[in-house]
Chain A
């Protein structure tokens, strides 16, 4: 079976558009990035 391999890297640039989208979502959910990170770590952060 043929498999496609893709490898990418994050740019060393500030993606203000992506940050703005994240902030809108955080505001909508009335939370913060730190809180969302805690959720990912199941509060062990």
Chain B
């Protein structure tokens, strides 16, 4: 038989773990009162248990075990999808705050409207997936984080990689436009270089993706402003 202290310890551990339904979906925290039909769709997406886990080593130290679990589950649910989903969550508590599912679009975008008052004062991370027909690297539009006060981390989950942007300082509109413009140009110049040195379309795509990804990592991490970009290969 277990002693009272051991039972208390088990209860404490259980209370700190994310709550999952029988399909592996994270349950909406009871603190959230709004109806969310996109979240209902998200909950019912099957989980791919065959892929490698996203562990705490893949994510920033500040992420709680519940947040790590949320990211892992997001990747398992979205890895086989042809469309994009975006979750907004608190990376210290693991609370899911918004969920947007774009299951009737072309697969290359997801959008949603959020209330800044709900997010203010929280530790916000936004995660979205890039379907397999799209590049894994962040696009210039994925750097909206630079202009949002409440937003600390952006995660992009793709078939074989996870990209993490960290930016806790608010940049001016001019700086943001400059960075996004340069990122867009790095993508275009990478395409041009890859196309001029390859004939095979698959090779062009592969070289462009690799070159753009490497240039992006170097550009962001060498930038004089305090922005961090990391890539985890899974």
Contact = CB atoms under 8 A, between A and B. Distances in A.
Interface of A: 1-16, 18-19, 22-23, 26, 33-34, 36-37, 40-41, 44
Given A3-B114, A3-B148, A14-B208, 19 more contacts: A2-B116, A4-B113, A5-B113, A6-B141, A6-B144, A8-B108, A9-B130, A9-B139, A10-B135, A10-B139, A11-B133, A11-B134, A12-B135, A18-B188, A18-B191, A22-B189, A40-B186, A40-B219, A41-B222
B195 A14 contact: yes
**Size bracket, chain B contacts:** 35 or more
B227 to A, nearest CB: 15
A14 B201 contact: yes
B134 A10 contact: yes
A4 B137 CA distance: 22
Interface string B133-155: 11101010110100010000000
Contacts of A14: 191, 195, 201, 204-205, 208
Contacts of A6: 109-111, 141, 144
Nearest to A33: B189
B142 A8 contact: yes
Given A8-B141, A14-B191, A37 B134 contact: no
Contact of A8 (B112, B115, B139, B192): B139
Contacts of B186: 37, 40
Nearest to A40: B182
B185 interface: yes
Contacts of B135: 9-12
A17 B198 CA distance: 17
Contacts of A40: 182, 185-186, 219
Contacts of A16: 195
A10 to B, nearest CB: 4
B131 interface: yes
Contacts of B88: 5
B20 interface: no
A5 B205 CA distance: 28
B43 interface: no
B104 to A, nearest CB: 16
A41 B218 contact: yes
